[in-house]
Each structure stands twice: as C-alpha cells, then as structure tokens.
Amino acid sequence: MKRVAVIPGDGIGKEVMDAAMLILERLEMPFEYVWLEAGDEAEKKYGKPLPDETLEEVRKSDAVLFGAAGETAADVIVRLRQELNTFANIRPARTFRGVESIHSDVNMVIVRENTECLYKGLEFEVADGVTEAVRVITREASERIVRYAFELAKREGRKRVTALHKANVMKKTCGLFKQVFYEVAGEYEGIEANDYYIDAACMYMAMRPQMFDVIVTTNMFGDIVSDLAAGVVGGLGLAPSANIGERHAIFEPVHGAAFDIAGKGIANPTAMILTACMMLRHFGYLSEAERVERAVEKVIAEGRTTPDLGGSLKTMEMAEEIAKLL
C-alpha cells in the first residue's frame, strides 16, 4: 500500500483537492492518505509555513499530493522539492476538444531541472542599492535531467527532445547545460535532438507550438516557459505537474492559490485531477489514469465545466460529472 501525504494548502487548493480526492476515492485505490498542513494558514497557526510534523510525515510517505500555496510558496513547495530531492519537474501541456485556445493539436511535455539555477535562492545585498544572485548549474544535475527527458521521450514514444538555454550570453552556465545535452543525446538513437535560445523558443511556442514534443531546460526557464505553454492550450486550470526524485515524488497543479476566487466554489479542478492521474501513472496504475483522463476529456468536450472554461458548474459539480463516468 502506498502512503500519500495530502496537503491542500491555501486558497483554491482546498477546493480542488476535495475534487481530486473524490475521484481517487471513487477508484478505491490502495492508498493510505495522511492529511497535513502547510502554507500561509499554517504559518499563522504554527509560526512556520512548513511545520516540522508535516515535513517529518512527508519524508515517510511515498508521494505528496499538494494543492496550492500562497505567499509562502517558496518556503513550502520549493523547500519540499529541495528536501525530497525531486530533481525533475514534469509539466505536460496539451489542447482539449471543447476548450478555446490559441492553437490546436498541441501535445508537449516540459521537463524542468528542479534543484539548482537561480532558484537556489543565493541572493545577497553587496552594497547599498546593489544586489546579486548566484546561478548554479552543475554537470551532474544537467546530465540527470537531460537523461530523464530522453527516457521520458523513449517511454512515451515521443520523437524529439529540445533543449532551451541562453548559451550565447551565459556562456559558462547555459554553455555547460547545452554541452551536456548533446553528450547525452548521442546515446539515444531514433530520438531527434535540437536546441533553441529561450527567447526565440518563447516566440515559436506562441506561433508554432506543434514543433515542440519534449522540452528540457533549467529551473527558472522551465518555470516561465511552462506557464506560457499552459496559456497556449487554454490556461493554468488545465496544467498538471509532477516533481520526481529517486525516492520521493510531489504532485501539484501548476496554478497557485488564486485567492481572488477562493471560497466561491468555481475553481477549475481539471489540473488537480490530472495531477492525481500523474501520481497514478507514477505508481503504475496506467489503466486507472487513462479512465480518469478519458472522463475528463469527455466532460470538457461536452461543456460540463466551470466558468473559466465557459461552463456553469461548481468545482465539485464538475468533479461529480467526471466521477459518474468512472
């Protein structure tokens, strides 16, 4: 039996988590769920956004199912990724029939390095009015994430892996990442390897996103470009993600706490439910994940959705429509 730490967090995190748990309970999965607290409310209650008890329980779990964090996100989800050494952040972006989007037939996966780069938080005030940040890129972490991207492409039958970088300007850090990318790419016959500067890639993603299949990039670039990809396919309400490590895994929707709609019961649960599907796949429950994904596709195509997708249903009403099809 797998032990899953459930952390709803802040804002709409609680609402979409309830929706995802409805689906998981309907599937009757052999999981032990441990409900934990973290985020803005936890900070007010315990004096720290990631309580010691939560971190202790998370370390004993096989996976974390996380909702959303507000202003304390860096102290919660970023720290959890570091504490659990979940080095690969996986963010699929695909179009859905029935969802208005800029482009159709988009189906890409962004593989983001999760442990270093500027997000290590090495920032300093070196003089009055002068600050600096240290960008850390290592061969070890670059090789690990690039290999993960190629293995994902191989496993899913994808044909191309594209590296995004800025090696023409950051010649040492991005230069190392690009060099390692092509070294690893040489080990994978039959999978095309190419690269783009990050700024050009953003333009191509807006104009011709179908040219991307698997993208692999560094931490901050991956964070930015995955939100762009979500916008291309219809919004963050459709964007799931996973953080994968050697021992632990964290599953979280890409959207944040969305305090402006929290408590209204209208949050789109799709990203959270698809995030739960990524957890199912991680544990090897492929058929169960496919059942839920097909149900989500059908409900969205028929317009039985929340207001952000043009429907009129509440969060749990949409989840119920999905659950009925299981």
Alpha-carbon torsion, ordered 254, 283, 145, 257, to 10 deg: 10
Three-class secondary structure of residue 174 per DSSP: helix
User: Given a cut of 90, is residue 3 above it in pLDDT?
Assistant: yes
CA distance 191 to 155: 11
Structure confidence at residue 121 (pLDDT)? 85
Other C-beta atoms closer than 10 Å to the C-beta of 291 total: 17
* pLDDT for the residue 70: 94
Nearest CA to 79 among 314, 282, 250? Answer: 250
DSSP 244-306: E-SS-EEE--SS---TTTTTTT----HHHHHHHHHHHHHTT-HHHHHHHHHHHHHHHHTT---
Query: How are the residues of the chain apportioned to helix, strand and coil, as percentages rounded to the nearest 5?
Result: 45, 20, 35
Fold matches, 1-92+239-326 and 102-233: yes
Q: What is the pLDDT of residues 162-184, one digit of tens each?
A: 999 999 999 999 999 999 999 99
125, two tokens: 């005030």
Q: What percent of the chain has pLDDT over 90?
A: 96
Tell me the pLDDT tens digit for each residue of 142-158.
999 999 999 999 999 99
Identify the weakest region by mean pLDDT among 114-123, 186-195, 289-298: 114-123
For residue 129, count CB atoms less than 10 angstroms from its CB and return exposed for 0-12, middle for 13-18, buried for 19 or more.
exposed
- Residue 158, SS3 per DSSP: coil
pLDDT at position 82 is 87
**pLDDT at residue number 63:** 97
| DSSP letters for 64-132 | EEEEE-STTHIIIIIHHHHHTT--EEEEEEE--TTS--SSSS-EEEEEEE-S-BGGG--EEEEETTEEE
Amino acid 202: pLDDT: 98
Helix (H, G, I), strand (E, B) or coil at 52: helix
| pLDDT above 90 for 6 | yes
Cβ(268)–Cβ(237) below 8 Å: yes
Which residues does the annotation mark as catalytic?
119, 166, 199, 223, 227
- What share of the chain in percent tops pLDDT 70? 100
At residue 188, the pLDDT reads: 98
* Mean per-residue pLDDT, 235-245: 94
List pLDDT tens digits, range 69-120: 999 998 999 899 989 999 999 999 999 999 999 998 999 999 999 999 998 8
Is residue 66 a contact partner of residue 123, using CB atoms and an 8 Å limit? no
Q: Cα(first)–Cα(last) distance of the chain, in Å? A: 22
Reported as a pLDDT band with limits 50, 70 and 90, residue 312 is: very high
Note the pLDDT of residue 74. Answer: 87
- The rounded distance, in Å, linking the Cα atoms of 96 and 72 is 32
CA–CA gap between residue 306 and residue 177 (Å, rounded) = 41
- How far from 74 is each of 78, 131, 137, CA to CA, in Å? 5, 19, 20
Pick from 320, 321, 227, 314: nearest CA to 267: 314
Phi, psi values for residue 33, rounded to 5°: -100, 130
Does CATH place domain 102-233 in 3.40.718.10?
yes
Q: Report which residue type is found at 241.
A: S
* 1-92+239-326 CATH pick, 3.40.718.10, 3.40.50.150, 3.90.1150.10, 3.40.50.300: 3.40.718.10
pLDDT at residue 122 tops 90: yes
